[in-house]
Amino acid sequence: MAVGQHRPTQLVIDCQALHANIQAEVSRLKADCELFMVVKANGYGHGAVQVAQVAKDAGATGFCVAILDEALELRAAGFNEPILVLGVTRPADAPLMAQSRISATVADLNWMREASRYLKLTVPNRPLNVHLGLDTGMGRIGFRTTAELQAALNFLGAEADDFNFEGIFTHFSTADDPDQAYFKQQVAKWQEMVAILPFRPRYVHVSNSATSLWHDACNGNMVRFGVAGYGLNPSGTAIPTTPYPLQPAMSLESELVYTKRLRAGESVSYGATYTAPTDEWVGTVPIGYADGYERRLQGFHVLVGGQFCEIIGRICMDQLMIRLPQNFVRGTRVTLVGRNGQRQITLQDVADYCDTIHYEIACGFTSRLPRRYVN
């Protein structure tokens, strides 16, 4: 997809905010605990390579991604730190991961058996770093019983030339919930399973952002720091208080490219779903659902001149229209996410209107939107 460099619409990423969030978390960790920055999904829409550099400068010692290609992108950009792929990869890619020093998540014994065959054929004497994933209640991937885990440990012991047992981890599904009952069940299951380990690998980790913020006693010796690093509360609004202020790093800005005086009774956009009740000023903004600005945001608002302006009519693929309190000159700044004058629109505000979570909104902005890095 072409990047819209010749259009006045862009995501603005505040590197100082990123740095402050990550450094604040690093400063809370115990001396033996490391922070791996999670930069999957293009750094939650913020730009993976750029975020990784800021995170490294702020004290991150490694990175987590979701798919192998995201890890390879970081290696191609010159990052030599440990990288863990959190999702399940193909056993056939085990040699590539070993050669690139990229750590694999292992969720079942058959994966290791198949990966071992590929490693023996292509990269003997270059073991693949693996982290055993335990399913303690997330229900996604991982070993579910002590018997399954013991079988995997036995295999690792017998195939030490192919694998380096680098880590073990789980993922908590309700660490961002004020009700801790299910969280405690997962903690108990985790403790039951790791009790059978003959030794602890280099990395023992359970903490995503929510766990580290609100259950830091569980941190182990590595934290997978994700959405909070981008200045977003992992719970949305369920747990409003965090140990330090989170500084949102992402803003979305555009400009008015056209204004007109709409007469009472005239309609706007596809389906003529909006008809002006009185004469009013209308502005056109060059952004639409092809940029990830959701069509369902009709009726929401943007900021122009420090004032909330309603989105009227259906949002188009590339443009949307807003009701203006007065006529503004072409080129006037429009803020879709961020601060404008004394008012602010947050990603949480957008998510609430769409009945979703801010993660989805941030990750949904497409590559057609250029990212501009400031501070």
Query: Which residues are annotated as catalytic?
Result: 40, 270
Single-letter code of the amino acid located at 230: Y
Give the alpha-carbon dihedral of 192, 195, 200, 201, to 10 degrees.
Answer: -40
Q: Around 277, how many Cα atoms within 13 Å sit in the side-chain half-sphere?
A: 2
Q: Cα(225)–Cα(228) distance, rounded to whole angstroms?
A: 7
Residue among 324, 346, 209 nearest 354 (CA): 346
Instruction: Output helix, strand, coil percentages for the chain, rounded to the nearest 5.
Output: 35, 25, 40
348 Cβ neighbours under 8 A, 6+ residues apart:
232, 233, 236, 237, 358
Q: Output the DSSP codes for 164-213.
A: EEEEEEE--SSTTSS--HHHHHHHHHHHHHHTT-SS--SEEE-B-HHHHH
Q: Where are the beta strands (DSSP E) in 43-161?
A: 62-65, 83-85, 102-106, 128-134
| Alpha-carbon dihedral angle through residues 84, 88, 90, 93, given to the nearest 10 degrees | 0
Helix (H) or strand (E) holding 11: strand 10-14
Q: Does 140 count as an annotated binding residue?
A: yes
Q: Are 200 and 315 in contact (CB under 8 A)?
A: no
Spatial distance between the Cα atoms of 178 and 32, rounded to a whole number of angstroms? 28
Cα separation, 220 vs 151, whole angstroms: 24
Annotated binding-site residue? 317 = yes
**Half-sphere exposure for 370 (CA within 13 Å, toward CB):** 13
* Binding residue ranges: 140, 317
* Binding residue ranges for substrate: 140, 317
